[in-house]
Amino acid sequence: MLGKVKRTYICGLILLGSLLLTSCSSQKAGQTSQTGITEGSLQCEQSVYINENSNLAVGPDGYYSLDLMSSKYLTYIDKASARETYLCSRPDCPHVDESGYHILETCDAYVGSAVARSIVYHNGYVYVLKYDPESYNVTLVKISADGSVHEDLMVVGQAPDQGSYYQYVFLDDDTIVMTYKPTNDSAEESMASLERIDLNRKEKTAVYTYTGKGASLGYLKVVGQEVFFIQMTKLEDDDVCQLMKWNAMDGQVQTVLDKNMVFYTIASDGKLFYYMPREGLYRYNLNTREDKLVRECDEDTMYALLACDGNYVYLDNFHNRFYYDEQSGHNLYVCDLDGNTVNTIPMAIDYLELTDQHYLFTRSFVDGKLPGWAYIRKEDITDPNVTWSIVGE
């Protein structure tokens, strides 16, 4: 019975991610271990996100957002003021038509039909995946930080519908690692690929392939020149997941953890956290391979999504009500790196989107308004009475 619960859980994660519808940098300080992890200061940029993909991308001074309703335009949220504007450099641009709801195609913020949750920021530029509903082509688009310049870089693949999605991360300015995952839940024999894209040559090469029933690869995170990912296979009574890593220097693929989990996040000093359904939060040391249960689950955290900002690990029990108790309250648990809960923050309908050094973000649904963003400033996360504020208000 437990196997069926796990299978339902993991399959449900893919479905929920589709319905609700990004590299790691190391600052060189201290010594580098044999795993390529710099002791003392490593921070994985993907680890601030609670899910594989996001509608937000973190920039130096603010956040870039792909429109939550139609995925047709970009906005920018200023870190200092938490106010949101269209990503448009033209001071005379009205941005929208007379109705106030439809973005003008002449506005810098307009990107056309994009794949949901496909926005990434890297080294001064915003990237999205544009979707052509007639040819099914998916094109990587590079956009200047002020929105004024849009450049189609290359077609990276196809998708039979706009709900199919890709995840991609940057190894360096000219190299992307990408996976593709369809929205169906088929258990037929299939092949999944980890692909390396050379943006200079406009070439895509499969660096690792995996064949199995309902095979998929995802949840990419980068540490230096190593790409971590989840490898999943569907079985009759269960799904089998493994945490893997691909080394871009020597091309080798290794199993990091052969444990049936999906959600993981990387902190600093080689600390990796992962969540085992109905067990709890584990901390795994990538350098020493020490594996420790640091927070046992309880009735409210049988299932949890994970993110990390380097100082705290965040457990979002969004799935608890779907896979354990439909009466379960929806909360965000702020934990230190030893698994101790320092605060419990009530959540609304959606899960945490990201948590960087400055803000927590989640989607907001306010009566009479289109979906938007809500935030909590990081200096307030240990306040037991903290509440969410609406971006721009």
> Which positions ≥6 away from 351 have C-beta within 8 Å?
20, 50, 51, 305, 316, 318, 362
CA dihedral of residues 154, 155, 156, 157 (deg, nearest 10): 180
Task: Between 113 and 368, name the one with better pLDDT.
Answer: 113
Round to whole Å and give the CA distance between 268 and 248: 21
What is the C-alpha separation between 333 and 304, in angstroms, rounded? 10
Q: Taking 60 as the threshold, does the pLDDT of residue 37 lie above it?
A: no
Q: How confident is the model at residue 27 (pLDDT cuts 50, 70, 90)?
A: very low
Predicted local distance difference test score (pLDDT) of residue 393 = 58
Q: What is the mean pLDDT of the chain?
A: 87
Q: For a pLDDT cut of 70, what percent of the chain falls above it?
A: 86
Which of 100-104, 313-317, 351-355 is predicted with the least confidence, judged by mean pLDDT? Answer: 100-104
- Reduced to 3 states, what is the DSSP secondary structure of residue 323? helix
Q: How far is CA 96 from the centre of its chain?
A: 29
Q: What is the pLDDT of residues 77-104, one digit of tens each?
A: 999 999 999 999 999 999 999 888 889 9
Q: Measuring CA to CA, which residue among 206, 2, 263, 50 is closest to residue 272?
A: 263
> What's the rounded mean pLDDT across residues 255-262?
92
pLDDT of 36 reads 39
Q: Using CA atoms, how far apart are residues 281 and 303, in angstroms rounded to an integer? A: 10
- Provide the pLDDT for residue 352: 96
pTM of the predicted structure, to 2 decimals: 0.88
Judge contact between 69 and 371, C-beta under 8 A.
Answer: yes
Q: What is the mean pLDDT of residues 54-78?
A: 94
pLDDT in tens, 288-311: 999 999 999 999 999 999 999 999
How far, in Å, CA of 219 to CA of 181, rounded? 11
